[in-house]
Structure 1
Amino acid sequence: MPEEDHQWVSTALFRVCAKGKLELQDHLQLWYFPPQPSLIYHKAPTSARFFAHSLLLWMPYRLWKVRLLCTDQACKHPLSSGGLHRQVRQVLDIDRFYNLVTETLICSKCHRSYLSWNREILEQLDMAHRSEFRVTLTRRYACDIRVIRLLREQGLGNGPVRLIGQLKENHSEEWMKRVARYAKECAAFISKSCLLPPTF
């Protein structure tokens, strides 16, 4: 996960239990959005608020209590949650990237484990819940369904090369908007005379 997301995601998803260890919050949700930059800064801003990414928390078992079964034909035992998986995927969206986190599902009978974003698990969900997972995953990359929809609109002069150019332009515009806002807030503190000028 990008460094700028560590603080806000840990605050949003976890709490400290009685034993002093971190555990998942009780009332989880599908989407989490980072805190936005403040309107006025009285102390030097950090870059995290300006460049943080949204989070898609894909935990169908934990969120909706759906019944998921082991995919081994000889087993077919109900799966239970094994907590968050350690791997975080960066998903390409129209103008930004966002983080995708999933849960590990464990079969207590045959001890096999699955990730909730695996095709075998997704196919067990009903259409309403399945449609909430709007990501196309490959071994190395992840892409939002909104980008895939743009590929469907192929016609004269509207092929993959044009789409790549449009995505680069969208990402660059969004990035420059955030850089400009961050630079503006930093400039006010650089111009102030102080003994230890802040670094950005």
Structure 2
Amino acid sequence: MFLWAPMRMWGIPLKCTSCKRKMHHSGIYTKVREVIDVDSKYYLVGGDYPRCSKCMIPVCPWSSEILQQLDPSHRNKFPAVLTTQQALDWKCVTMLRPRMVGNRAQQVMQEVHSKEWARQTIVYLTDCEVHKKSCVLTQSEPVYQQPPTFCRLPLAQWFETVHTNEVLGHLDEMKGIITSTYGRILKLDSTKKITKKLAGGIENTAMWMSNIGNELGQVLNSVLTTGEGAGLDDLCQGVVRRYRDAGEPEPDAIYVDRDCCSESVRLDVFHFMRRFTNGLTTEHHPLFGTFCSKLSSCIFEWDKSDIENLTQAKRAELVKKHPGHNPSHSQVLASITCSELAKHCRRKTRGVEEIRSLIQRLLDSMWDLTDTTGLHLINHESMSRVWEVQQKHLPCIQDPPGVQLYINNGSKLEKGGKALDVLRCARGSSSLESFHKHQCRFIPGT
């Protein structure tokens, strides 16, 4: 509880801002404010309710009109910044200020300490001024010491050492939490983004960062290796041992970008499709996007029941948006976006022979396509070699039989009065790409 009563506590004469008359006491201010502090909350009570003796206008005891009439020493005693409904302690306001040198804990504490030092210095200098005026009556010459200088806090390394020692006290608990992460569908992917940031004595000591994640977006393990594929056997054996020691069943599938074609190790379809771009003349060709879209259609097909539910929801939504208009089936399909399809509909891979036939027909139909300058989309020699090699991976990109690859996140999204499931796909290793980007941005430097 904090009592704010400048008139009664310090006897400071306050004046009305409109008529410049002296204000007097008029009782207790009835509104109590809850102030948010760094680690707790407290209440702010206005003890005096100032009122002008002429115009009889009451004034809030912590309003800007009152605070501006106080000297800096007494004004700094007010502990918070108030708005219409909420109040925030000055220590929290200090932490919210922008800093040019960074937002580390050491800089925040440095600023909090410096503000408290400045506040106490103002109080000391104000008391010296008051004492100096009283010495006029005794005709004595007062002597005052200079306020103490501000003592800077220790270096950031000391704070980091203390933080490290505190974390080490929870090392067993943290290891238990990290190694208790499992999953039914794993993804393995490698990147060079992080290793390019290594500097100093460890520069060029590692070439790849490899991560294993699960279908929920959680990362099970991360390792630095000297080459792509080097040392990953130990990584995988460690994950297998973790499952075995915990009594967990083996994962249903693991998606990789290379070294695939086994019973549970499968090739990510995204990387399978990316290999076809090596057979194209350039990725900047106007037909590049069309080719990739058609290639995806050759591999996947949408679940008919999910498409029907989404179509009914979009039709009801269009009817509600445009009353009296009955949209056609083509208009409803045209209103469905790619993000809505990915969010509410499931996809499954076609059969091996069907995919082989559809891709072959796609290539046959686009062999001789060119842009307006006569540049071919497909390089015949390169694409023939790519297609010959990739046909052996067609069984590898098939969905594992009996494995549920889509997860319902438990929420419903209403469209046109119909509740649709929000689905998350566990297929492929592309979800690790966003984690690689996060790792790269998290590590400072270029």
Please report the TM-score for the alignment, with normalisation by the length of structure 1. 0.49
Query: Normalized per residue, which structure has more helix?
Result: 2
TM-score by length of 2: 0.22
Max Rg structure: 2
